[in-house]
Every structure is written in C-alpha cells, then in structure tokens.
Structure 1
Amino acid sequence: MAELVPFAVPTEGDKTLVVWELSSGPTAEDLQRSLFRVFSRCGPLYSVRVFPHAAVARPGFYAIVKFYSAGDARRAQRACDRKQLFQNSPVKVHLGTKHKAVPHRALALNSSRCQELANHYFGFNGWSTRIIKLQNLSDPEEGENEERAAVQKQSLRFFCALEVALPAYACRSPGVGLAEEPLDKQEEGPLSILMKRKLTQKLAIQKALSNAFQKLSVVVLENGKIAVEYRPSEEVIDAPTEAESLQDLMHDGRGEEDCPHLGVEDAALRLPDTG
C-alpha cells in the first residue's frame, strides 16, 4: 500500500515513537544526539525530544521521536525495540497511540525543513527553484491618500512568487510569500535599513518556497520507489496586495517562456520520467 508523505508537520500517532528505559548517565543533549544518529538511519526525522522522568519516578529519561513517514516509524520500532543501541541496557520503543483530532489545516513546514525533506527523497540535484518575481510593496502608489502612505512607510514589505521544479517528474509547483518588517527611518540608519531590507526579501522567498512545497506530497510506493502528487492549494490568500500582485504577475505582458502558466485544476500523480 502506498504512503503519502506531505510537506507538513507530522502530528499522527503512527509517525511518533516513544523511547523508554534511557540511561540516567548521559545528559539530555547527549541522548538527543545519540537518538538522532540511530533513528535517522531509518528515515528523515522531524524532531527528537528528550524528557526527564517525573521527580517521583526513578532517575532517567524518555524520548519522543517524530518521523515524516509512518512506514519509517514502523521500521524503526521493529529495528530498535529491546536493543541496546548506544547504551549497555536495552531500550523499549513503542509506536505512539495518542491520536490528535484532525486539524482544519495542516501546519506547513518551514523552508529549511522542506529543503531537507526534498533532498532526502529527490536528491540534492533532483529539484530546483526559480524566482519569478520579487517585488517591493513598501512604497505607496501614486494617488493614494496621505494617511495610508504614512502607515505603509513604517514597514518594509516584499512579495515573492517562485516555482519549485522536479524535472524527473515533469512537475512544477508555484508558491507565493509576503513578508513585512517594521521600520522607523528616524531611528535607524542606512545600514540598518539595508540589512532589514535584505532580511525581508529573504523571509518573503522562504515563505514562497514553503508555500510551493505545501502543494506537493511524496508518494512512497510498495516497491520502495516514489512518485509525486501535486495538489494546488485551496487556501485563500488573505492579504489583498498579495493576491493583486499575483494577478498582475500572471498578466503583466511577459511571454510564456518568461512567466509560464503554473496552475492545474485537479490533483496529479507524477511518476519519474524514464524517457
């Protein structure tokens, strides 16, 4: 049976391992590094957290390990349960049983975690990004009233539109991001403003990258091979300026090669292009 691995924060119980009987000798930080080293051999990890036992219990620690894939979590449980791993005594490893209510909207991964997950499944050279537009929205347009202009001048705002491309799967996913940083020109010097400008640009790009990956899911097939599912986001863009900028981007008169049409109507399963 195929498994769908979205670019989202894993919250399901079948992706979570509870590790008991950890030694009280090493520090929590040392245990965290050792656990990460052992369990990451079974698949990419979202997090490893180590906690001390309650004061009324015996000394020692337990850990919560979260995988992106339920299949990886099951394999890790079978491989590590009642094994010594990195200590002299065996540990106990159980799949999590506490299931949270399904959230209305999955929590998106940040851009760095999206890149880590993409590198694992597609390889470092198996995907790429292309910035389509990076626009400064800080300056008010001509003709706007002075009150709105005064408000907008108090912050730096950048909009980014980009696409993530997976050549082997003939798949492209668009993403948009809007970032804003407060600004006080009277108190901040030119260098500080320049640094904030670069930071705001970077944040907009990171948000757009995360948004693009949200539309993708890795399909892990029974034979171990993978496919890609592309599902356009149904989320409504809250910021009017962001929506208007995206519309302007798609209708600003540029040719198809420079600004390709990125939307599709239905979810699509993309297999590697072997031709």
Structure 2
Amino acid sequence: MSASTRSLARKRPSGRKALLATAMLLVAVASAFPLAWMVLSSLKTPAETMQVPPVWIPRTPTLEAYEKVAGVINVGRSMWNSLIIASVTTAGILVTSMMAGYAFAKYSFPGRSLLFSVLIATMFLPPIVTLIPLYRMVGSLGLSASLAGIIVPNLANAFGIFLMRQFIAGVPDDLIDAARMDGASELLILYKIVAPSVAPAIAALALFAFVYHWNSYLWPLTVLQGNADAYPIVISLSRLLSYNRGAVNTGLVMAGATLAVLPPLVLFVFLQRFFVDSIVGSAIKG
C-alpha cells in the first residue's frame, strides 16, 4: 500500500467523524432553538417582540413579563401544586415499579407470563379510554376536586413495571441468593442490592414520570372541576391564552411557558448522566 493510499485511509474515518459531529450539532441546535427563543422572548420589551425583522437578542433585557405573569396567575401556588403532583406520583411509580418488576423478574408463580402480557397490553390503551372509569372511581372514593384524586390513580404504571422488570432480570441470581442465605429480607435485597444495580433505569423512569405528570393537563382538569386553588401550573397557564391574541403580549406568554418548563429542565440536567447510562445499558443488553 502506497503512502498516499494509507494517508487517504486515515483521513476517511476522521472525515466521517467530522460529518457525524456536524450532523449532531445541527440536530442539537434545531432542538434547542425553540427553547432558546422562548427564554429570550420572555426577556424582550413589548416593542422588541413586535419588531420586524425579529430581534434575536434583547437589547435591554427586562423581567417585566415575569412580573405581569405573577399578576395574572398565582405562580407560587400553581408551581407548588405541580411539584406535589409530579413528585408524589413519581415516588409512587418508582416504588410500585421496583416491587412489581422484581416479582416478575425473579419470582416464578402460576400465571406470571399471562399476567405480564395483560400488563403490557394496557400500555396500548389510549388514556382517553380510561378517563371516565378513573373519574368515576375517584368520585366514589371521595377524592374529586383534590390533588389526591389526581395522584392516586397514577401511583402504578405499566411502562415503569415493564422497564424495571427488563433491567432487574439482568441482576445475577447468585447475588440475590447469597443475600438470602445471609438472612436478608426481600425488601432489603430489593433496596440494598437490586436498586443500586439498576440505578440508571430508576433515574430514567423518574425523569419520564416527573416530566409526564408535570405536563399533564386533561386528567387534572377533569378531576379538579374548577377548584382553581389546586390547579397545577400547566392549567393555570391556560389563562394566558387570552393574552396571546396580541403580539404585544408575546413576552408574557413566553415568560409563563419558561416558568413551567424550568423544573423538568433542571431535573434533566441532574439526571442526564443516568439517563444516558440507561440507554447505553439497554442497547448493550439488546
């Protein structure tokens, strides 16, 4: 092989890497652009939001839009309601998914395969199908128009059980048997041995569950029945829709959306390493 051929062969992989890096950068920029535009627009003056061609970077950043949002809706109360709903529901999903996933992965009992198949089948049901039965159940329990009515039906999740079962199945049986021989209880084995082994999956499930229930709209709106004091931030922001008809209020709407997206975004920043590890781990297992 000549020197020029060897040089060309060395350049090809680097050229492919550069092309791949460029493509990934373009995708990242395209994905982050709406979020960046939302935040920047919330800092613009009303005149800048209406200017044509658009102003990309606010010349005189201002928090006036955020002050107006606080005057239209009870931001603190709504954020607190959303935090309670998302946090408690996520904690419940983690606990029930870990316990059920452990049972499906490491226990043999009659009807296990059938029960797991039925569980998987429920994942394909559109949420609108279960809306009326769940609402009637919440009403019969006396939980209507309360945060508990939103939380209780969502404390178990079929996808969470499926995810935990798949990861827990990869934990060595010998490790669990050794813990049993040492006298450890099943709960101790689950939370001291199994849980650390599937930490990336737990973090990924926590992120999925928190973001989903933080952004949930239809179910809380159905349960709360006009109880504005219990509205989460997503429903409270709907009061800003009337302000969206005028371009002068664009900053107000963007400020409200920015406030709503901050907690899930902060959570993702803290859990992104575990989230990536879970994806890599599932790919390796696959």
Task: Name the structure with the higher helix share.
Answer: 2
Larger RCO: 1 or 2 (CA < 8 Å, sep 6+)? 2
Query: Quick check: which has more Rg, 1 or 2?
Result: 2
- By the TM > 0.5 criterion, same fold? no
Q: Identify, as 1 or 2, the structure richer in strand.
A: 1
Query: The TM-score by the shorter chain falls in which range?
Result: under 0.3
